[in-house]
Structure 1
């Protein structure tokens, strides 16, 4: 069962920051089309602030049906439309993707991709990712690569596709969390601060290819 026009959506957003991902925002459906849904810019009720979204942001959404039943689906931001009010275009889920079971798995996939990192003082190093998504990535850092929360990084990813082609995806990012691991390494979790829409779409394409592979194993 699809939600209807004017129905309220309750939204959580994956930015790579666990605290941010716990916030619930409200929006209202403006239009429903064959492949996408237009909704209003989400609002956080506790603060009254509008939440700015970006192309490729990964969303976990639910809407209520009779008896207060929550219906969940995952989506992501496709674009925007300026009308009387600004509207956000999100992917319309397939009917079988709407479930009464909460699934907080965003469009983020485990993948060991090569990442080049440049940070303060012109220091650079190569590493491998732990996961990638439309909103950010996580990668491993050695003990001498001391990164801190809030630090800004310039990076590029080497992204392979099933057809054998390779893409370099550059982006600017912020460290949102540093997780110490049992060995000498740390897991560095990033959110994108600046990434060209075309580059973000390359990552989303990779994630869909990888998810398709996982489903067919």
Structure 2
């Protein structure tokens, strides 16, 4: 699914500046051509300031379709138009490059990310994720680690993005399943029970970027 004229496009700039990469902008889609999505100058909702974009800027974007479904895609600034107001041309994605994310059906990707897990003040350990989504994760740990079904845990995950930024994402979860692996280690599957919307969006963005990498291989 592709966006339509007059829809709002939400975006973040893939910047090596960590603070800049966290800022979300929004813009109205003014036109759609065979090769471009043409938008108005983006606005920072919090400050009310317009954001100047440059040719070659890489953006992580999403638009909201019926039912509140978020549709994510990556794009690049390809040019500009001088009309009554200045307009910005973005590379139009292929329909299959748009990823839909519903709150109850998060995209899940394979990923080995470093994480710290805390079960109690006395029990904490380092683990590696097996897969990641906006609603939960699974991780691999040593068999002697004392965890069981419904065990509440606190986690900190190191999440690297395409732009070189590494985020430190905290969350709380609950173990919903444990599987013994042939390697002798155990795989724990976790459902998030406490995570900020901002941090959840970071994980969704990571999953989207990772899926795009897989598709290019």
How many residue pairs end up in the alignment? 129
CA contact (8 A) 2:180 2:187 kept: yes
Residue 122 (structure 1) shift: 3.0
The equivalent residue for 1:37 is 65
Q: Distance in 1 between matches of 2:191 and 2:205?
A: 18
Q: After TM superposition, give the deviation of residue 183 of structure 1 in Å.
A: 2.4
Aligned counterparts, 1:1-217, within 5 A: 35-39=63-67, 89-92=68-71, 96=96, 107-217=107-217
C-alpha distance in 2, partners of 1:92/1:208? 10
Extract unaligned runs of 5+ from structure 1: 1-33, 40-88, 99-104
Q: Which digits, 9 at most, give the CA deviation of each residue in 1:80-138, with x for residues without a partner?
A: xxxxxxxxx2225896589xxxxxx9511100000100003531101110000101000
Tell me the CA shift for residue 165 of structure 1.
Answer: 1.1
Query: After the TM superposition, which segments of 4 or more aligned residues of structure 1 sit over 4 Å from their partners?
Result: 92-98
Asked if the contact 2:106/2:134 (under 8 Å) is kept, the reply is no
TM-score by length of 2: 0.55
SS at match of 1:35: strand
CA–CA distance in 1 between the matches of 2:121 and 2:169?
22
Name the CA distance, whole Å, in 2 between partners of 1:192 and 1:158. Answer: 16
Asked if 1 retains the 8 angstrom alpha-carbon contact of 2:72 and 2:208, the reply is no
Q: For each residue in 1:41-76, what CA deviation from the matched residue of structure 2 results, as whole angstroms up to 9, or x when unmatched? A: xxxxxxxxxxxxxxxxxxxxxxxxxxxxxxxxxxxx
Separation in structure 2 between the aligned mates of residue 92 and residue 125 of structure 1, nearest angstrom: 36
What is the TM-score of this pair, normalised by structure 1?
0.55
| Rounded Cα–Cα distance in structure 1 between residues aligned with 2:200 and 2:106 | 15
Matched with 1:79 is none
